Amino acid sequence: MKKKVLFFAREYQADFFPLLRSPKYDAYYVTLTLEEKRRVEAKGQPVFACFEEMYDTLTPDQFPDNYSLTSFASDRFMGSIPLAERRTILGKEIAFWRFALEEGKADAVINETVAIEASEVLFIEAKKREIPYYSWMSLPVPNTFYFQHTPMYNELDQRIQEIQPGDEDFTRAEMYMEKVRQGAGAPFYAQNLKKRGNPVVLLKSFKRWFLAKKQSAKHSRNKSLAVFGNPQQVFGTQMRLYFLSLFRKYRKPEELKQFELVFYPMHFEPEATLRYMSEFYSNQVATMENISKCLKTNQILVVKEHPQQPGMFLTNMFRKLQRNYSNILFLPAEIPTSDLIREATAIVTLTSTAGFEGLILGKPVFVLGKVFYNQCPGVNKIQSYEELRQKLRALSYAKPSAEKVKHFVAQMIRHANTGNPYPHANLCTSDNIAAVTHAIEKQLEI
């Protein structure tokens, strides 16, 4: 009997997941919004349950006070909702997924890594029923991804160290590492981005902000945040950064030539890499302040904007931080990350791929979050700021070995699947669809 697989078709997945059909499993689809439901059905697939459609009629389930694996603070959109009302929404989410799993008779769940509360609840409810939850994450090696051993964060299973790579894996590892050495190792989501000040970015942001505002007006505020998140805030921020980039300037980086550089790559805000994978470091202003307190007197913390958020350091919040801490220097998104890695004495990061590039380039890397390269030999996994300060100042830290890093990259390639299930130019090509579908079949052991 074929396995029945629940696909949580959220955002871009509403267009992608219906394409992942296979004679080896039966797929059924669940969405958050009616718009996602319409897109799945446009691909010829029925939707079993839609949260927006069912929200008003759902009776909240009861749940223990220690229900969540994280906390209410992890969801990046619902933090302003009063606590009692948040509990009601959580009860509705539990009831929704109970219905989708039990009435749909799921044998497995397919979704990306946990990024919102609804996904965390799906994971908890699936686990209660011993239903496997298969989530994935892309790797910086082009056209590769892996299934996580837990959907809550990106760390690879420690068993990766037992993998024996083959000659082809080592060849691909060397090819990728050479690209990084040449400064061409940027991940796919940081490539071919629109330039700062491009009016197309402003127009698209305004259109999406207007549509989000119109959509949210149809529902109560709580329902709107629970179902749609807060796209008005996201696109409003994009428009604000566009105009700030026209009228404000960055501090000139003369300090780069005078002091040792400790590089911290800025993470996109708000995002799951902060709220779930780096839960206790999600306030990046506080994180930067604390890292700056770990530095020696001849060091400066250099922070580069995330490539998808140019202008972020021109906001009042970061300008104030810049004024109050002379050993922090903010740089615009256009500065090549590879140049900063080469100049840096060390790299401190939560989950950035810049840390992985740093390992390849032989730099000391200190990781505060949960990321795929934590198992790589030479990584300094940091548990506290006191530990970070002690290691940075005493030079008592691990340094990567080129051969050991290459072996880890080869192990990672051996472990990975071909394809990329995240938004990119080739997402819906026949080759990528076939590769991701095959990976799902393999993961389901069918």
Helix (H) or strand (E) holding 175: helix 167-181
pLDDT tens string 33-68:
999 999 999 999 999 999 999 999 999 999 999 999
3-138+416-444 under CATH 3.40.50, yes or no: yes
Ranges of the chain with pLDDT below 70: 255
Q: Locate tokens 């795929």: which residue?
A: 372
| Nearest residue to 364 via CA among 351, 375, 378, 377 | 378
Q: Residue ranges per domain, the chain? A: 3-138+416-444, 199-247, 260-402
Contacts of 141 (CB under 8 A, 6+ apart): 172, 173, 176, 409, 412, 413, 416
Q: Output the CA torsion sign for 427, 432, 433, 435.
A: negative
Do the domains 3-138+416-444 and 260-402 sit in the same CATH topology, yes or no? Answer: yes
| Nearest residue to 376 via CA among 342, 412, 350 | 412
Q: Locate tokens 């030079």: which residue?
A: 395
Residue 255: per-residue pLDDT = 65
pLDDT tens string 276-317:
888 899 999 999 999 999 999 999 999 999 999 999 999 999
Write out the two tokens for 170.
């080592």
CATH number of 260-402: 3.40.50.2000
Residue 154: per-residue pLDDT = 87
Q: Supply angle C-alpha 90, 94, 100, rounded to 5.
A: 140
Task: Classify residue 112 as left (phi > 0), alpha (psi -120 to 50) or beta.
Answer: beta
Write out the two tokens for 47.
């939707």
Contacts of 145 (CB under 8 A, 6+ apart): 136, 137, 138, 139, 416, 417, 419, 420, 421, 422, 436, 439
Contacts of 206 (CB under 8 A, 6+ apart): 235, 239
Residue 339: per-residue pLDDT = 94
